[in-house]
Amino acid sequence: MWNLFVSLFINILLWIYNIIGQNFGVAIILFTILIRIVTWPLNAQQMKGAKAMQDLQNDKEWQAIQKKYAKDREKLAQEQMRIYRERGINPFGSCLPTLIQFPILIALYQSIIRALAATPLDLLKLSQSINPNFLDVANLIPLNSKFLWMNLGQPEPYYILAIIVAATTYIQSKLTLPPATNPNDQSAAMGQSMAITMPLMLGWFALTFPSGLSVYFITSNLLGIIQYAAQGKANWSNLLPKSMRKE
Amino acid sequence: MKKILLLTLVLFGALLLSACGGTVRGTTWPGLAADETTAYLADLSHVYGINIQDGAEVWRFSDPNDNKAQFYATPVLTSDGLVIVGSAGSKHILYALDPHDLITNGDFKNPAVKWTFTGAGGAWVAAPLIVEDKLFAPNADGNLYVLDLSDGQSQKQPIATIELGGRLWAQPVTDGERIYVTSLDHRVHAVNLADYAIAWQADIAAAIPGAPALGPDGRLYVGSLASKLEQFDPETGAHQSVLDAQYWLWSTPVFDGDTLYFGDLKGNFYSFDAANNKLNWSIQPDGAITANAILQNDHLLLATESGNLYAIGKDGKTLWFEAVGGKIYTTPVVAGDLILVAPLETDFYLAALDSNGRQVWTFPPKK
């Protein structure tokens, strides 16, 4: 099943690579755009879920049960679930779309490695992943792994991509953070924490894994920023230092 | 709760990403060679010397200059007993090891390094070819390096660097006049042995991961990822396709008189009459075939991706098969009465079978 998923990615990637004149970097960028379009409803759901959870933190009934059952965690959980049910909120609704990114990320990583076929085993796996009736892959191999200054099958050695990946991830995280109006708002605190953790982690990925994956991260982040901005939900003031923000 | 879930999944994702491809030890299949007493196995971060009588480790070597180095090119033995093997990793060093000069290092013995060549820009995937006192070493950087084995230098400098282009993954062959090299960038190259000039280059419009084969008729045969067997005139490079296979060809054809035997990546195994350019028969044992067949007396030995070793008669009938285990991509080696097989995805790195396919010993390296 997993192999089928990776094979699907490889076939689409190679098809794009073939029709755009055999540039693997551009193929990754276009493929990322395709993935963002396909996962658009999920991202929209994520934003909706995050907004609903944020609103809940400022809700009087919600705050009241937090106080009332502060020492009875079981009862508090029951009451929270009741509110979720009554208002049609999925408490994990804002996490799930993020989690779906992981299988995509891993499949893309495997697709890039397999498609660039740096070792005989990768080339063999590629032969077992492609549909020869769909693509004349024999003629495409070896793929052109050069893109700008990078070898897409190798980590980028100058740390430039790692910095851009970390920066765009940070900017995207910050833009999507709603202003925290409640000092006890747990989801805002979590958002702040993730806004630091995720850029560091993806930056480390960019240092460690093939640069083709970094191209995916950067494209995906930029598209995310554009998506939020286009919907008028980007919170640009979050990029300013606290002292300069208009609260 | 949500925070813990997210962080756990982030870490899990990182772990998964780090472990991608982790079902196989190393990054590809090992290289294997042997002489009368010792098997030489290039696998993962080590090259091993293994006693073929009992499968005991005699020595091991890891790259002292590159902790990311991996070895998977087939080791080559020189007439004076050195083992030449190249590394893949970050430094791409070609080593000449002396297994007669062992240095004790804790529980292990390491061979002395007699010389190195550090000038290559890519991984060593192909085994080099020795012609008299010259070493022709094709590298994934697209260069064919010519080294003088008799110059006594410990830091080799190439006497010629022939820029062929593409990734050179297969051991060249020679007919004494020219050396023939295949490339992943679709070309077959002929280089004059006398002056190292390129005699001809031919593009067959498909990658060539396997080595070329020279037939007794002097013609050159090359399988490609276009699923075609190409026949070349070694003088001019003129070529024609003589067989459309079922799928991509990787293994190097093996000759028995005018008959060629080779497999494809869909697991078809072919017998081809080169004198009349016609297919004798084809069978499909099981699993992709990247390993070359081995001609042994009246039959052929064939290893498949499914981890089986077959003895196949020249009429295409299976005489016996043995489930070695794992996945076999490396060409087995016959050493004395034993058949040595180096599978992937098994607990052992090397297995020795007798001539009837019964397992004699296995080699799992000591930790």
DSSP string, B294-316: EEETTEEEEE-TTSEEEEEETTS
More confident residue, A108 or A189: A108
> b/e for B8-29, b at 16 or more Cβ within 10 A?
eebeebbebbeeebeebebbbb
Residue B64: both structure tokens together: 């002292």
Residues of B in contact with A98 (CB under 8 A): 6
Reported as a pLDDT band with limits 50, 70 and 90, residue B3 is low
B240: β partners: B231
Write the residue in B10, B125, B209 that is nearest to A201 by C-beta.
B10
Task: Enumerate residues 6+ apart whose C-beta is below 8 A from B266.
Answer: B246, B247, B248, B284, B288
Given a cut of 50, whether residue B19 has pLDDT beyond it is: no
Given a cut of 80, whether residue A187 has pLDDT beyond it is: no
* Percent of residues, chain B, with pLDDT higher than 70: 93
Reported as a pLDDT band with limits 50, 70 and 90, residue B8 is low
Contact B6 A95 (CB under 8 A): yes
Q: Return d(Cα B269, Cα B287) in angstroms, integer.
A: 10
Contact A92 B3 (CB under 8 A): no
Residue B90 lies in a domain: yes
Q: Express each pLDDT in B125-145 by its tens digit.
A: 999 999 999 999 999 999 999
Task: State the smallest CA–CA distance between residue A142 and chain B in angstroms.
Answer: 6
Residue labelled with tokens 């605190």: A189
Given a cut of 80, whether residue B276 has pLDDT beyond it is: yes
Residue B64 lies in a domain: yes
Residue of B nearest to A132 (CA): B247
Alpha carbon distances (Å) from B348 to B34, B286, B333, B343, B344: 17, 22, 16, 8, 8
Lowest mean pLDDT among A184-193, B70-79, B328-337: A184-193
Residue B50: both structure tokens together: 């293994």
- DSSP symbol at B197: -
Residue B250 lies in a domain: no
B249: β partners: B264
Residue B264 lies in a domain: no
Q: Return d(Cα A162, Cα B96) in angstroms, integer.
A: 38
User: Domain containing B130 — which CATH number?
Assistant: 2.40.128.630
Write the residue in B2, B88, B185 that is nearest to A91 by C-beta.
B2
Task: State the smallest CA–CA distance between residue A20 and chain B in angstroms.
Answer: 19
Residues of B in contact with A113 (CB under 8 A): 20-21
Instruction: Report, in angstroms and rounded to the nearest whole number, the Rg of chain B calculated over CA atoms.
Output: 21
Contact B27 A109 (CB under 8 A): no
Structural domain count of chain B: 1
Contact A124 B17 (CB under 8 A): no
Reported as a pLDDT band with limits 50, 70 and 90, residue A185 is low
Residue of B nearest to A136 (CA): B226
Residues of B in contact with A193 (CB under 8 A): 3
Q: Return d(Cα B117, Cα B300) in angstroms, integer.
A: 37
Reduced to 3 states, what is the DSSP secondary structure of residue B135? strand
Peptide bond into A41 cis (omega under 30): no
Residues of the domain holding B156:
27-165
Reported as a pLDDT band with limits 50, 70 and 90, residue B318 is very high
Residues of B in contact with A127 (CB under 8 A): 225, 247-248, 265, 288
Residue B336 lies in a domain: no
CA B155, B156, B162: angle at the middle one, nearest 5?
150
Residue B355 lies in a domain: no
Q: Return d(Cα A220, Cα A105) in angstroms, integer.
A: 11
Q: Return d(Cα B28, Cα B71) in angstroms, integer.
A: 9
Residues of A in contact with B28 (CB under 8 A): 119-122
How many residue pairs bridge chain A and chain B with CB atoms within 8 Å of each other?
A: 98
Reported as a pLDDT band with limits 50, 70 and 90, residue A234 is confident
Residue B18 lies in a domain: no
Given a cut of 50, whether residue B20 has pLDDT beyond it is: no
Reduced to 3 states, what is the DSSP secondary structure of residue B65? coil
CA A142 to chain centre: 29
Residues of B with CB under 8 A from a CB of A: 2-3, 5-7, 9-10, 12-14, 16-18, 20-21, 24, 27-29, 72, 88, 123, 125, 166-167, 169, 184-185, 205-207, 209, 224-227, 247-248, 250, 265, 288, 290, 329
Residue of A nearest to B205 (CA): A139
Average pLDDT over residues A39-45: 78
Residues of A in contact with B169 (CB under 8 A): 120
Residue B291 lies in a domain: no
Contact B250 A124 (CB under 8 A): yes
Residues of A in contact with B224 (CB under 8 A): 138
Contact B248 A110 (CB under 8 A): no
pLDDT of the residue at B25: 55
Contact B10 A197 (CB under 8 A): yes
Residues of B in contact with A109 (CB under 8 A): 17, 20
Contact indicator for A203, A166 with CB cutoff of 8 Å: yes
Q: Which of B1, B8, B9, B10 best tests the A interface by mutation, with the highest count of A CBs <10 A? A: B10
Q: What is the pTM of this model?
A: 0.84
pLDDT of the residue at B274: 95
Average pLDDT over residues B324-337: 96
Residue of B nearest to A140 (CA): B206
Residue of A nearest to B90 (CA): A154
Average pLDDT over residues B343-363: 95
Q: Express each pLDDT in A126-141 by its tens digit.
A: 888 888 778 888 788 8
**Beta strands across the sheet bearing B108-117:** B76-77, B83-86, B94-105, B108-117
Q: What is the ipTM of this complex?
A: 0.90
Residues B286, B292, B297, B298, CA torsion sign: positive
Task: State the smallest CA–CA distance between residue B34 and chain A in angstroms.
Answer: 22
Contact A139 B21 (CB under 8 A): no
Nearest Cα to Cα of residue B328 among B309, B310, B312: B309
Residue of B nearest to A197 (CA): B7
Write the residue in B10, B125, B207 that is nearest to A141 by C-beta.
B207
Task: State the smallest CA–CA distance between residue B57 and chain A in angstroms.
Answer: 26
Q: Express each pLDDT in B192-244 by its tens digit.
A: 999 999 999 999 999 999 999 999 989 999 999 999 999 999 999 999 999 99
Contact indicator for B261, B271 with CB cutoff of 8 Å: yes
Contact B28 A209 (CB under 8 A): no
Q: Which of A119, A139, A185 best tests the B interface by mutation, with the highest count of B CBs <10 A? A: A119
